[in-house]
Amino acid sequence: MDQYRVFGNPIAQSKSPFIHQSFAAQSQCLLNYQSELVELGQFEKAVNNLIANNGKGANVTAPFKEQAFAMCDELSEKAKLAGAVNTLIFTQGIIYGDTTDGIGLVSDLLRHQVILQDSHILLLGAGGAAKGVVQALLDKAPKSLTIANRTLSKAEAIAEQYPNKPIKAVTFSDTEHSQFDIIINATSAGLSGDSLPISNNTIENANTCYDMVYGKKPTAFLQQARLLGVEHVIDGLGMLVGQAAASFQLWTDINPEVEPILKSLREQLV
Ligand code: ATR
């Protein structure tokens, strides 16, 4: 049977095996998808071992996305710009790398009927999570994409990768002076219990607040957005399933149905 893995460290928390096994069952596709804990320094060995054992593809999560990028023989344009990959395809002796996080985010926004074209988007954060979605957001022709980050230089470095696009880098305090339709949190601030330095006024003027983080309870950012009456308040669970669906399609050519999996994952959240 064709073998697939998700490699990471830690990995026990990963929902990818459940998602991909569900996609496979749904489309009557015979494949085996498991999670694999990889020791630091052992990533290449794990990939080569999978290839030698009927491996057809893999997902890659923290902290190996950059190592996976470095190991690829061929890369998609999106992966080149992101400098990281979350999806590997093993075909004809070649390792091909792609990143589906951006497609996952965009497909989830569209599923919620959020209009991206001609919108003003504010992306909070300039780490790996933010970098991975910029190209996919720009592909939807927003009027502007503003990246705000605590460390301005990191946001500037991303913006410089897209010289002919309506993209700019700012500090958090600069966001006070502009209005945004869509605010996307791609920082890890909430995970460490810190709140985001974004004013109520900026949040309240948006029609959509999206947090890439998800959990049983809404994040502090999403709670704030709800209290302020923002129309679309969305967590990152749909992005997770969306990126998985895009990976699954790259491997099998089948576009799986996202809704039922999302529903059961939501019920399983603790
Ligand atoms: P990831 O892969 O999740 O993106 P990362 O690459 O370490 O992780 O990036 C974390 C992001 O969260 C960065 O944009 C970081 O800001 P800096 O570049 O200034 O470090 C942001 N971040 C983390 N903690 C934050 C906080 N307390 N307030 C604001 N931004 C924070």
Q: Within this chain, do residues 144 and 95 fall inside the same structural domain, yes or no?
A: no
pLDDT in tens, 134-171: 999 999 999 999 999 999 999 999 999 999 999 999 99
129 CA from centroid of ligand 1 (Å): 9
pLDDT band (50, 70, 90) for residue 195: confident
How would you class 35 by CB atoms within 10 Å of its CB: exposed for 0-12, middle for 13-18, buried for 19 or more?
Answer: buried
Do 40 and 9 touch, CB atoms closer than 8 A? Answer: yes
Q: Within this chain, do residues 107 and 94 fall inside the same structural domain, yes or no?
A: no
In this structure, which amino acid lies at residue 124? L
Active site residue 217: no
Alpha carbons within 13 angstroms on the beta-carbon side of residue 174 total 15
* pLDDT for the residue 213: 94
**pLDDT surpassing 90 at residue 101:** yes
In-domain check, residue 247: no
pLDDT in tens, 210-222: 999 999 999 999 9
In-domain check, residue 243: no
| Alpha-carbon gap, residue 160 to 186, rounded angstroms | 19
Establish whether residue 132 lines the binding site of ligand 1, counting it when its CB lies within 6 angstroms of any ligand atom. Answer: no
| Alpha-carbon gap, residue 55 to 4, rounded angstroms | 6
pLDDT in tens, 65-81: 999 999 999 999 999 99
Q: Within this chain, do residues 153 and 228 fall inside the same structural domain, yes or no?
A: yes
The mean predicted confidence, pLDDT, of the chain is 96
Of 82, 99, 116, which residue constitutes the final position of a domain?
Answer: 99
Q: Which atom of ligand 1 is nearest to the CA of 188?
A: 12
pLDDT band (50, 70, 90) for residue 270: confident
Establish whether residue 124 lines the binding site of ligand 1, counting it when its CB lies within 6 angstroms of any ligand atom. Answer: no
Of the candidates 197, 204, 198, 199, the one whose C-alpha atom is nearest the C-alpha of residue 230 is 204
Q: Within this chain, do residues 118 and 93 fall inside the same structural domain, yes or no?
A: no
Q: Within this chain, do residues 106 and 93 fall inside the same structural domain, yes or no?
A: no
**pLDDT surpassing 80 at residue 193:** no
Q: Which structural domain range is residue 42 located in?
A: 2-99
Pairing of strands 87-91, 94-98: antiparallel
pLDDT band (50, 70, 90) for residue 192: confident
How would you class 26 by CB atoms within 10 Å of its CB: exposed for 0-12, middle for 13-18, buried for 19 or more?
Answer: middle
pLDDT band (50, 70, 90) for residue 243: very high
DSSP symbols for 120-134: EEEEE--SHHHHTTH
> For residues 137-147, b (16+ Cβ closer than 10 Å) or e, as one string?
bbebebebbbb
Report the domain count for the chain. Answer: 2
92 CA from centroid of ligand 1 (Å): 38
Average pLDDT of span 217-229: 95
| Alpha-carbon gap, residue 204 to 17, rounded angstroms | 38
CA quadruple 203, 171, 184, 232: dihedral, nearest 10: 10
Q: Determine the straight-line distance between the first and last CA of the chain, rounded to whole angstroms.
A: 33
- Kindly list the distances between the CA atom of residue 145 and the CA atoms of 83, 135, 169, 238, in Å, as whole numbers in the listed order: 19, 10, 9, 21
Q: Within this chain, do residues 110 and 229 fall inside the same structural domain, yes or no?
A: yes
Q: Within this chain, do residues 84 and 112 fall inside the same structural domain, yes or no?
A: no
Q: Within this chain, do residues 44 and 121 fall inside the same structural domain, yes or no?
A: no
Which CATH number covers residue 76?
Answer: 3.40.50.10860
What is the pTM assigned to this prediction? 0.96
In-domain check, residue 132: yes
**pLDDT surpassing 90 at residue 244:** yes
Pairing of strands 167-170, 144-148: parallel
Establish whether residue 157 lines the binding site of ligand 1, counting it when its CB lies within 6 angstroms of any ligand atom. Answer: no
In-domain check, residue 263: no
Q: Within this chain, do residues 132 and 87 fall inside the same structural domain, yes or no?
A: no
Establish whether residue 232 lines the binding site of ligand 1, counting it when its CB lies within 6 angstroms of any ligand atom. Answer: no
Q: Within this chain, do residues 20 and 121 fall inside the same structural domain, yes or no?
A: no
Q: Within this chain, do residues 32 and 148 fall inside the same structural domain, yes or no?
A: no
Establish whether residue 187 lines the binding site of ligand 1, counting it when its CB lies within 6 angstroms of any ligand atom. Answer: yes
Our CA angle for 249, 251, 252, nearest 5°, is 65
| Alpha-carbon gap, residue 22 to 201, rounded angstroms | 42
| Alpha-carbon gap, residue 242 to 158, rounded angstroms | 23
* CA-closest residue to ligand 1 atom 5: 127
The tokens describing 234, both together, are 């969305």
Which CATH number covers residue 127?
Answer: 3.40.50.720
